[in-house]
Chain A
Amino acid sequence: MSLIGQPLPRVDGPDKVTGRAHYAADFPADRMAHAAVVQSTIARGRITGFDLAEAEQVPGVLAILTHRNAPRLGKIPEIPPVDPVGTPEHPLQDDLVLHQNQHIAVVVAETLEQARWAASRVRVSYAPEPAVIDMQATLRHARPASKDEISAKPGNVGRGDADATLASAAVTVDSLSVMERENQNPIELHATTAQWDSDGERLTVWDKTQWVQSCAKHLGAAFNIPPERVHVIDPFIGGAFGSSLRVWPHTYIAAMAAKVVGRPVKLVLSRREYYGGTGARPWTQQRVRLGADRDGSLQAIRHEVTAENSRYEIYTENVLKATPILYRCRNVDLPYRVALRDVNSPNAMRGPGLATGVYALELAMDELAVALKMDPLALRLRNIPERDQMKDLPFSSISLEQCLTEAASRFGWDRRNHQPGSMRDGRLQLGWGMAVSNYPAEKVKATARARVTAKGEVHVATASSDMGPGTWTSVTQVAADTLDLAMEQVKLSIGDSALPMAPVHGGSMTISSIGPAVRDACEKLRGAVYGAAGVNTGDILEIARRIGRDFEAEGAFDPGDLEERFSMEGFGAVFAEVTVDPDTSEIRVRRITGAYGIGKVVNPLLARSQCIGGMMGGIGMALLEQTEIDRRSGRFVNGNLAEYLVPTMADTPALDVTFVPEEDRNVGGLGTKGLGEIALVGVAPAIANAVFHATGKRLRHLPMTPDRLAMA
């Protein structure tokens, strides 16, 4: 029986439940020194001086680095698809302050306590400049994103004539919505341990990163050494959700500090420091205008987004990716605008772009259903696309209709009274809402290596990572399945830049890219072993033992021209039930049902975990999460885990996950489409639409906090 598709427990489970799994801050080193950063306390301006006298007096202090004495860094490269356009922060290189909580100095000391105490004693003087933080003020200067800034992402380019069609459409809606800035807030703090060789030519870094090899390239460029001399290690990532895609300033700072003191240095950003030290899902405002016939057939969509950005980089994302393909529609307009303010650059968070864009689109679709007096489910079914009208390509497969009907029937949607405010449970208002989910089935080049030793051990390696989806397990499954072995017989290595090339661990493309590379390596390995033995069947472990030598094979995956032949997309449908307390405006999610068509499911146990995790993330996005930035000072008002609210166990509703069978022979590789992002994308709009159904009030602002609902 094939191991692919089996609900196997995680191979790294025993390490994770015993504390043996080592994350970036868990690696010991001899003579470890500890670093603590000093962050800016203004949003914009120049540093005019440091008073280090008191900090230098703290026992155990080994070095204090500022832009005045820190090693000079080379130019930090821009590596697609992760890095935004512009000039990334080059930490401790000049006196410029670009945002609040920017690292402007680092203290290295014998102990963590000494480093943190001394860092708190560093006095900084500034020449502040006026900063614009307030989004309303920022919006006045919003401008279209340029072609370079958008690069390959959808935006600005549409089709047909949306404006003219909207003007003459039988039914139209005009839906404005706002989403606050959100932080990924993985529970693992961002951490880097850096160690230079005695000759200062080789750097080893234990870093919280979703892309070990990109991290090696960035550090190599910054420190003027070839990337092969930078060894980045991160076998376990304590969650990231996008926060570890980029190489953040503190990683360079840890390496600089290690260089200066000539010892390994560990730098862990505190939870407070994290908000300014990394990125966040951008604040966005969206306006979606829809035009339809009386029977619900969509005729025009105009979806405009304005997204916050910093002044030093422009980060754009796939906000407008789903809009032109999710529904059959001839006329689509997709303006993408950016609004610059004096904050740290935003970056990708789980379901980047699509989580934002699908929220606004699905809110507008719900409004259209109301305007048409139509079942929102029927409206979706009416507009199922036959092909990708944006790329003008057939879908490799599309199960949107099956997802909608399957999820609707599991949820019991046919019992819904479509009249808003019509359903109750005692004194609570009850609401049922639904939305579509979508994420592109991305896949890129990847490589892997497989080896069987003379002792009969199998080792498989690729430089990918595992931030939680289960790469350790799913890749082991692929290898064991290909080689006809038991799971325990395969030893996997990942999370190490010295291993065979693998793409960024993000964008739901890990298993679709490295899965087929591993399979290829294993097939070639078996071919090599059989070839040497002159057989074409048998146990490769036994044969290798008998021949008495090691065999090794390299495998690769290249999607080739797949992208030109098919539009490859995962689709899903999400239904949610909420209750609203009419007195307190408290919204609670009672249950969520999600159905997904995502090609082959390698491990249903782990896949379900990803989906329930995505649902919890969606609940946070819908009801709780917002990074509040003081509009005068630019400070993070709620920069900690008690005030930046994330869902807890008490917030967990009944979660129902199902995968519709989808055999996709066109999508390449293992037939997988990826799951991490699509699991989150449709959740918040389903909840938002349920809130409308419960109350008859259209709340256009995420998160839907009680105060916002009370004032709606």
Chain B
Amino acid sequence: MNTQDSHTAPAPGVTLLVNGTRHHLAIGPEVTLLDALRERLNLTGAKKGCDLGQCGACTVILDGKRVNSCLVLAARAQDRPITTIEGLAADGRLHPLQQAFITHDAFQCGYCTPGQIMSGVALIEEGRGHDEAEIRKHMSGNLCRCGAYANIIAAIREAAART
């Protein structure tokens, strides 16, 4: 192995592209995307509610698709664009769905909310935000124990109508 190669070889670890910023993390292959965001990058907007892909609180958008970040290894997200709740408000202006959540009081404790919003944003992108039956079906992976669902539906419909 020549010296030059070892200089250009990537440093061990994982490079994540989060909300437009590149981060290099010295982490092993066992670290989930959720734990990388929360415990390494201090992006605690994505929440852990189960760590088992059952609640949706950890939803982020990866390559334009919503994923449960607790089920994605950080290494698999290497160099792929990731949007978290922290990156949704452009220049401090709330995304229409964030605003609609406030208007419709689509939360109580707020813990499921980042996941609901990321999921809702992707759902609207998927073209499913206009039909209530579609919303119900495709948002049911995001649990809300405070039971704000009826208001979340209203918020998604309003934001979908605006976008």
Interface set of A (CB-CB < 8 Å, partner B): 9-10, 12-23, 25-26, 28, 34, 111-113, 117, 184-189, 236-241, 268, 270-271, 466-470, 605-606, 608-610, 612-617, 640-642, 646-650, 652, 655
Q: Is the CB of A185 within 8 A of B140?
A: no
Chain B residues at the A interface, C-beta cutoff of 8 Å:
28, 30-31, 35, 38-39, 42-52, 54-55, 57, 84-86, 88-89, 94, 98-99, 101-103, 105, 107-114, 117, 135-137, 139-140, 142-153
Complex Cα distance, B32 from A270, in Å, reads 15
Main secondary structure of the interface of A (DSSP, over half): loop
Complex formed: what's the CA distance from A614 to B108 in Å? 12
| Bound-state Cα–Cα, A184 to B54, Å | 16
- Which B residues are CB-close (under 8 A) to A10? 102, 105
In the complex, which of the residues B112, B140, B146 has the most CB atoms of chain A within 10 Å of its own CB atom? B146
> Out of A268, A609, A655, which one reaches B48, CB within 8 Å?
A268
Q: Which residues of chain B come closer than 8 Å to A240, judged between CB atoms?
A: 109
Partner of A28, one of B42, B51, B85: B42
Chain B residues with Cβ below 8 Å from A466 are 109
Could you tell me if B110 and A12 are in contact, using CB atoms closer than 8 angstroms? yes
Contacts of A12 in B (CB 8 A): 110
Known: A19-B45, A25-B48, A271-B50. Contact between A650 and B110, CB under 8 A? no
Q: Which of A12, A17, A613, A652 is the most central at the interface, judged by chain B CB atoms within 10 Å of its CB?
A: A17
CB distance from A274 to the nearest CB of B (A): 10
Give the residue name and chain of the B residue nearest to A615 (CB).
B147
Q: Are B146 and A468 in contact (CB under 8 A)?
A: yes
Question: Closest Cβ of chain A: how far from B54's Cβ, in Å?
Answer: 4
Pair A113/B147 contact, Cβ less than 8 Å? no
- In the bound complex, what is the Cα–Cα distance between A20 and B108 (angstroms)? 15
> Contact at A16–B107, with CB atoms within 8 Å?
yes
A/B interface sample: 27 pairs, CB < 8 A: A9-B102, A16-B110, A17-B117, A18-B45, A19-B84, A25-B48, A112-B39, A186-B109, A186-B145, A189-B50, A236-B110, A239-B111, A271-B50, A271-B51, A467-B109, A469-B108, A605-B105, A606-B105, A609-B105, A613-B148, A640-B52, A649-B136, A649-B139, A649-B149, A650-B137, A652-B149, A655-B150
A241: nearest chain-B partner, CB-CB:
B145
Shortest beta-carbon distance from B159 to chain A in Å = 12
Across the interface, do A113 and B30 meet the contact criterion of CB distance under 8 Å? Answer: yes
CB of A18 within 8 A of CB of B105, answer: no
User: CA separation between A650 and B153, bound complex, in Å?
Assistant: 10
Residues of B within 8 A of A612 (CB): 147-148, 150-151
Assembly CA distance A606 to B109 (angstroms): 11
Most chain-B Cβ atoms within 10 A of its Cβ — which of A34, A270, A652?
A652
Residue from the list A16, A606, A616, A652 in contact with B136, Cβ < 8 A: A652
Chain B residues with Cβ under 8 A from A189's Cβ? Answer: 48-50
- Are the CB atoms of B102 and A649 closer together than 8 Å? no
**A17-B94 in contact (CB<8A):** yes
**In the assembled complex, which residues on chain A have CB atoms less than 8 Å from the CB atom of B146?**
239, 468, 609, 613
